[in-house]
Amino acid sequence: MSERNDLPSNWGRWGADDELGTLNLITDEVRERAAREVRTGRSVSLAVPIQPAPVLSGPFPPRTAEESPVQQMMLYTGSPAIAYADALTVTNHHTLSTHLDALAHIPQDGQVYPGRPANESVTMGGVVHGSTTAFAAGIVTRGILLDFAADGPVPGDRALTAQDLEAAEERFTVHVEPGDALVARFGWVRTRYRGNPMPGMTLDAARWMHERGVSLYAGDLSDAYPPVSSPPAMHGVALPRLGMPLIDAVDADELASVCAELGRYSFLFVAAPPRILGLTGVPVNPVAVF
Amino acid sequence: MSERNDLPSNWGRWGADDELGTLNLITDEVRERAAREVRTGRSVSLAVPIQPAPVLSGPFPPRTAEESPVQQMMLYTGSPAIAYADALTVTNHHTLSTHLDALAHIPQDGQVYPGRPANESVTMGGVVHGSTTAFAAGIVTRGILLDFAADGPVPGDRALTAQDLEAAEERFTVHVEPGDALVARFGWVRTRYRGNPMPGMTLDAARWMHERGVSLYAGDLSDAYPPVSSPPAMHGVALPRLGMPLIDAVDADELASVCAELGRYSFLFVAAPPRILGLTGVPVNPVAVF
Amino acid sequence: MSERNDLPSNWGRWGADDELGTLNLITDEVRERAAREVRTGRSVSLAVPIQPAPVLSGPFPPRTAEESPVQQMMLYTGSPAIAYADALTVTNHHTLSTHLDALAHIPQDGQVYPGRPANESVTMGGVVHGSTTAFAAGIVTRGILLDFAADGPVPGDRALTAQDLEAAEERFTVHVEPGDALVARFGWVRTRYRGNPMPGMTLDAARWMHERGVSLYAGDLSDAYPPVSSPPAMHGVALPRLGMPLIDAVDADELASVCAELGRYSFLFVAAPPRILGLTGVPVNPVAVF
Amino acid sequence: MSERNDLPSNWGRWGADDELGTLNLITDEVRERAAREVRTGRSVSLAVPIQPAPVLSGPFPPRTAEESPVQQMMLYTGSPAIAYADALTVTNHHTLSTHLDALAHIPQDGQVYPGRPANESVTMGGVVHGSTTAFAAGIVTRGILLDFAADGPVPGDRALTAQDLEAAEERFTVHVEPGDALVARFGWVRTRYRGNPMPGMTLDAARWMHERGVSLYAGDLSDAYPPVSSPPAMHGVALPRLGMPLIDAVDADELASVCAELGRYSFLFVAAPPRILGLTGVPVNPVAVF
């Protein structure tokens, strides 16, 4: 219990009914600073492409299928077809899908951010507090890439500390300011989630993000496997206690190339998932504009 | 037939295998110009909020439900729940959902843009040419709002011509340049699609967009109802013949307020739907940054 | 706890790994007796018809929809269509759907029938013990209708006891034998689940079913609302402790008419839902053959 | 055209609005005869078991999955879970699913049985004529197994004629009468639909079924691949022209064993899929009772 009390927290910081969490740190001033990053108009997607699995009923369907977060059903629109249309089944928290976690995705001791009873906030009919509603207007801020994989993937048994984050800042000549979106690259986007050990962030790193005022975390990885703390730093502390939205399964490989090529690791960051309210998470295509 | 030959077309302009259509007009130079629009960091969403319909199985479900483009299923994650997660069923071309039409959404005489056989381009297993794959990197360009509803909704029996578009340019002191995204506001976002007459664009207006080099059209309405031409200007000509992606069901009301307040009708425009390949369309939350 | 010990139970009766529960009572002898009920070949369905809700994406969809346990998507099969096909989204335990509850549907003190840990029996990936797999071969036995609504619907504040069940046996000249399926008619199929009080079975009635060896319960209602016992007799005792499958939302109105017309209340009873393994429940169309 | 005129047809036989097709042949007399087949109460399922594919969102989902006609989503019901529930996505005409084809499943020259315009009978919102509504009361009749695979699977290049059917009748001492359900076993339930040649029925066999008054066809196979006639005998003639419902993907292996053991190839046949109206087809678990 005393350990829990040591964990960083934003519960109460923006009121008992707050739904934005660290997105509160994205002020007009922060956006204006972000805007100044745009100089060339070059843009890069940070999303893993999703190949939907077709729902087929013809005589010779495949017997095995690559698993996908999305199933696609091509719809009948008359014969001959006057248009082509489809419907999808989408799994929001799939590890092969770049998605934005809502604050109520993970409860902590029966509560969700900022300390509301989980059972009242999340119902069988949807999320009533701490949902994707917080992302309705889109997220526009400055992004900073900390490329921990510039010299190769972070080893599976490493967990990054505040010192590692500051070393990266120094190396890439950036400084994380309040309201910034932090993009972390471990170099694991193609090899993660196979059951083997994976690197991640320590509680120490989460504390550093808290102190610096990170508004959003986007990484190809976030928490180490096996866990290096209980609760884990990002999904167990940053999300539910700091109210920091997480983008899971980010592909920052092209971003890293462009940053290296342009010689700068800051950019305008825009994440605007479909404006669907009341979800625990939602697929997103974050875009960096230089 | 001779009439068809008179219709504007980009078939062949960027090659027989092109999938980008008028998005080809968004060059580095265009993006750089778009970037210069960002001065304050203020951002506005152009998407209609979607309240998903819960899929319930409890003892007292509702007997009628507001129709929704999205059904939500809250998922079991263990007991007690270690996380909250959900899965969705999504209808891509629903009139209550702000969505981006892929170029193959509408065929023309058995072909899709840029003249490929529709039956080869669209299959039971998904779209192989002209799909949402074209939007994978996100769309970043300059946006221009033409607010035809500044003095009240456009009447249901009006269809806008090139002259109307130029009058709006003059009134709002903007000039549509090649690569710009054109946002049109008819003032109908809350009242459309009830079966009554609705205003829209004429073929003349589509020709004007072609000549000006509009890269993308985003409107609360697009084609008039009942139709004022065959094929209709936006879904029958701009989309399949010009290869111009359309964003349907845009909510430009807040955008119009901000433009009026700031006294300028151009902005950085970002549309980055989930990076799901092979679809006929996809929900999107377009964001304008000033 | 001493009260719990008083509750009837079949845990252990057919072994620690049993998945059939009271379906074990349907022996060859029972089936043979059931077969003798068939004299005329007249057959009656006991299922409520389900009108699926269409998933539409056309320009003028309805704004509200009758809620349905089933959503239907008409599928594209080529243009022109070479066949018509569809896909469904189905909610298994919907109150507007006649469905068969699997034994693991309701846990009791963290266990499912016959005393196995719920968390091992039911997983995020499906039910591994106590699922619809038990119904794979179909259920064929003798059915007995006890029509408690022959003189009008059972009042909302009534809960039926063993005495009521025996009175019905006497009135309709039937005798429930081991292995029989018990069909109960409260006369509520059109008016249930509106939030108002509803009649149901008492624990005393569940004990009677246990003693008589009922193999399956099928009713338009089962447990009273508000509850008259804790746990409730059918979903809290018969299902998880006796291992008695329940068919919810039965329409026994036509059955009652036919029984009255033929002057007999026993029949061959067949329930054979789609052979989908690992579910918590499944829609079913029970058929009575006279 | 003259060839088409030679095809057997029931269009008009039971009126222009008929939806039952050959199910009209199942009279009270037929059911009574069927009932007489029940002597032992032994019952056998004719359905292929379906293992649903889980929709998972945990950290370590599988990367490939066996394809399945059914996706299962385990639903959240509170924490701790007060019940276990699930929702399904079901593809009706999947080759790995035993399913009942509705009469409007296959059009013929722009019409569906019994000669109604296909475009009016099948809409984007569901089937309004010739749907699963015809199966609402369940199908109860006499079943006859013709086991063409008693000496091993029918070779891939064989197509069965009326003579083959009569030879089987003689061998198994059965005689198909009006209203009977015909169960055909080719011995292919485990090996079909891999792209290689498969046996099936000839037009001659379909004519024989018409003359004999078969009410329903249930087989592990039906039409040969590659096709041996145009239109194919069962899906192109029996279904749309005779109005004969087809059960695809039947598993008759256990049925054949039981028939051989009991020395009789006739039985009570019950097929009662979920009572969902307006579909093109529906999963079913046909049951034979001896």
**Residue A55: what pLDDT?**
76
User: Which SS3 state, helix, strand or coil, does residue C185 take?
Assistant: strand
Phi, psi of A91 (to 5 degrees): -100, 120
What distance in Å separates residue B1's CA from the closest CA in chain A? 19
Contact A42 B33 (CB under 8 A): no
**Residue D174: what pLDDT?**
98
Contact A67 D55 (CB under 8 A): no
Provide the percentage of residues in chain C whose pLDDT is more than 90: 84
In eight-state DSSP terms, residue D7 is S
Residue C76 lies inside a defined structural domain of this protein? yes
Cβ(A90)–Cβ(B88) below 8 Å: yes
**Amino acid present at C149:** A
Residue D170 lies inside a defined structural domain of this protein? yes
Domain termination residue (choose one: D38, D72, D97): D97
CB atoms within 10 A of CB B215: 27
Q: What is the mean pLDDT of residues A102-127?
A: 96
A57, A84, A87 member nearest C55 (Cβ):
A87
Per the structure, the complete domain to which residue D71 belongs is given by 49-97
Cβ(D177)–Cβ(D212) below 8 Å: yes
**Residue B1: what pLDDT?**
35
Residue C56 lies inside a defined structural domain of this protein? yes
Residue A63 lies inside a defined structural domain of this protein? yes
Please list the residues that pair with B166 across neighbouring strands: none
d(C-alpha C117, C-alpha C108), whole Å: 10
Contacts of C194 in chain B (CB under 8 A): 60
Q: What is the mean pLDDT of residues B74-83?
A: 92
Q: What is the mean pLDDT of residues B217-245?
A: 97
Smallest CA-to-CA distance from A249 within A103, A69, A90 is with A69
Contact A126 B44 (CB under 8 A): no
Both D240 and D214 in one domain: the answer is yes
- Counting beta carbons within 10 angstroms of the beta carbon of residue C128, is it exposed (0 to 12), middle (13 to 18) or buried (19 or more)? middle
* Beta pairing class for D159-160 and D200-201: parallel
| Mean pLDDT, chain D, integer | 94
Higher pLDDT, B178 or C53: B178
Residue D265 lies inside a defined structural domain of this protein? yes
* Beta pairing class for C200-201 and C159-160: parallel
d(C-alpha D38, C-alpha C261), whole Å: 24
**Amino acid present at C36:** R
Query: Would you call the peptide bond into B69 cis, given omega within 30 degrees of 0 as the criterion?
Result: no
Contact B75 D81 (CB under 8 A): no
**Residue D117: what pLDDT?**
97
d(C-alpha A229, C-alpha C101), whole Å: 41
Q: What is the mean pLDDT of residues A36-42?
A: 88
Phi, psi of B277 (to 5 degrees): -85, 155
In eight-state DSSP terms, residue C128 is S
Confidence of residue A39 (pLDDT cuts 50, 70, 90): confident
List the single residue in A with minimal CA-CA distance to C79: A80
Smallest CA-to-CA distance from A200 within A243, A151, A236, A174 is with A236
Q: What is the mean pLDDT of residues A241-253?
A: 98
Confidence of residue B80 (pLDDT cuts 50, 70, 90): very high
Residue C137 lies inside a defined structural domain of this protein? yes
Confidence of residue D2 (pLDDT cuts 50, 70, 90): very low
* Beta pairing class for D266-271 and D139-147: antiparallel
Q: Is the dihedral of CA D184, D187, D192, D196 positive or negative?
A: negative
Both B168 and B129 in one domain: the answer is yes
Q: What is the mean pLDDT of residues D24-28?
A: 94
What is the model's pTM?
0.94
Contact A195 D60 (CB under 8 A): yes
Contact C283 D276 (CB under 8 A): yes
**In chain B, how many domains are there?**
2
Both D157 and D242 in one domain: the answer is yes
Both A171 and A276 in one domain: the answer is yes
C59, C64, C94 member nearest B57 (Cβ):
C94
Provide the percentage of residues in chain A whose pLDDT is more than 70: 95
Contact A42 B56 (CB under 8 A): no
Interface ipTM above 0.90: yes
Both B79 and B159 in one domain: the answer is no
Both D54 and D152 in one domain: the answer is no
Both D123 and D267 in one domain: the answer is yes
Contacts of D92 in chain C (CB under 8 A): 85-88
pLDDT of A33 over the 60 cut: yes
**Residue B61: what pLDDT?**
63
Contacts of B122 in chain C (CB under 8 A): 76
d(C-alpha C51, C-alpha C48), whole Å: 10
Confidence of residue D1 (pLDDT cuts 50, 70, 90): very low
Q: How does pLDDT run across D222-266, given as a tens digit for each residue? A: 999 999 999 999 999 999 999 999 999 999 999 999 999 999 999
Contacts of B92 in chain C (CB under 8 A): 57
pLDDT of A3 over the 70 cut: no
- Tell me how many degrees the CA angle A100-A106-A111 measures, rounded to the nearest 5: 135
**Which chains border C (3 or more CB–CB pairs < 8 Å)?**
A, B, D
Provide the percentage of residues in chain A whose pLDDT is more than 90: 84
Smallest CA-to-CA distance from D185 within D279, D258, D121, D244 is with D258
Contact A64 D66 (CB under 8 A): yes
Confidence of residue B156 (pLDDT cuts 50, 70, 90): very high
In eight-state DSSP terms, residue A78 is T
Cβ(D121)–Cβ(D129) below 8 Å: yes
Residue D5 lies inside a defined structural domain of this protein? no
Q: What is the mean pLDDT of residues B233-255?
A: 98
**Residue D162: what pLDDT?**
98
What distance in Å separates residue B163's CA from the closest CA in chain A? 30
Query: How many angstroms from the chain centroid is the CA of residue D168?
Result: 20
d(C-alpha B38, C-alpha A65), whole Å: 45
pLDDT of B2 over the 70 cut: no
Residue A4 lies inside a defined structural domain of this protein? no
Q: Identify the residue among D57, D60, D86 best suited for mutation to test binding to A, counting A beta carbons within 10 A and taking the highest.
A: D57
Both D61 and D27 in one domain: the answer is no
Q: What is the mean pLDDT of residues C38-55?
A: 90
Strand (E) positions, B53-149?
53-54, 64-66, 70-75, 85-91, 99-101, 111-112, 116-117, 122-123, 126-127, 139-147
Contact C289 D83 (CB under 8 A): no
Q: What is the mean pLDDT of residues C15-43?
A: 93
Phi, psi of C35 (to 5 degrees): -60, -35
User: Which SS3 state, helix, strand or coil, does residue A272 take?
Assistant: coil
Higher pLDDT, D6 or C189: C189
In eight-state DSSP terms, residue C240 is T
**Residue C180: what pLDDT?**
98
pLDDT of A2 over the 50 cut: no
Both B55 and B112 in one domain: the answer is no
Domain termination residue (choose one: B80, B97, B114): B97
Contacts of B95 in chain D (CB under 8 A): none
Element (H, E) at A64: strand A64-66
d(C-alpha A100, C-alpha A272), whole Å: 10
Q: How does pLDDT run across A135-186, given as a tens digit for each residue? A: 999 999 999 999 999 999 999 999 999 999 999 999 999 999 999 999 999 9
**Residue A59: what pLDDT?**
64
Q: How does pLDDT run across B114-131, given as a tens digit for each residue? A: 999 999 999 999 999 999
Higher pLDDT, B1 or D21: D21
Cα end-to-end distance, chain B, whole Å: 45
**Residue A169: what pLDDT?**
98
Q: How does pLDDT run across C73-122, given as a tens digit for each residue? A: 999 999 999 999 999 999 999 989 999 999 999 999 999 999 999 999 99
d(C-alpha A23, C-alpha C145), whole Å: 62
Enter the tokens of residue A116. 């509301």
d(C-alpha D110, C-alpha D118), whole Å: 5
**Residue B55: what pLDDT?**
76
pLDDT of B184 over the 60 cut: yes
Domain termination residue (choose one: C97, C128, C159): C97
Element (H, E) at A216: strand A216-219
Higher pLDDT, D53 or B278: B278
**Residue B68: what pLDDT?**
87
Smallest CA-to-CA distance from C181 within C107, C265, C274 is with C265
d(C-alpha D165, C-alpha B113), whole Å: 52
Both B126 and B270 in one domain: the answer is yes
**Residue A66: what pLDDT?**
73
Element (H, E) at A267: strand A266-271
Both D58 and D42 in one domain: the answer is no
d(C-alpha A177, C-alpha A163), whole Å: 16
Query: Would you call the peptide bond into C226 cis, given omega within 30 degrees of 0 as the criterion?
Result: yes
Both B141 and B218 in one domain: the answer is yes
Cβ(C203)–Cβ(C7) below 8 Å: yes
**Residue D54: what pLDDT?**
83
Contacting C with CB below 8 Å, chain A residues are 55, 57-58, 73-77, 79-81, 84-85, 87, 89
Strand (E) positions, chain D?
43-45, 53-54, 64-66, 70-75, 85-91, 99-101, 111-112, 116-117, 122-123, 126-127, 139-147, 159-160, 181-185, 200-201, 216-219, 246-248, 266-271, 281-283, 287-289
CATH number at residue A152: 3.50.30
Contacting C with CB below 8 Å, chain B residues are 55-57, 59-67, 71, 75-79, 89, 91-96, 107, 118-119, 122, 124, 193-195, 225
Contact A76 C81 (CB under 8 A): yes
Q: Any alpha helices (H) in chain A, and if so which ranges?
A: 2-6, 28-35, 118-121, 162-172, 203-212, 253-262
Q: Identify the residue among D26, D44, D55, D86 best suited for mutation to test binding to C, counting C beta carbons within 10 A and taking the highest.
A: D86
What distance in Å separates residue D126's CA from the closest CA in chain A? 10
**Residue D61: what pLDDT?**
61
Phi, psi of B271 (to 5 degrees): -130, 115
Provide the percentage of residues in chain D whose pLDDT is more than 90: 84
Smallest CA-to-CA distance from B51 within A133, D85, C130, A231 is with A133
Contacts of C140 in chain D (CB under 8 A): 41, 43, 287, 289
Looking from the CA of A129 toward its CB, the CA atoms found within 13 Å total: 17
Confidence of residue D67 (pLDDT cuts 50, 70, 90): confident
Confidence of residue A60 (pLDDT cuts 50, 70, 90): low
Cβ(A130)–Cβ(A20) below 8 Å: no
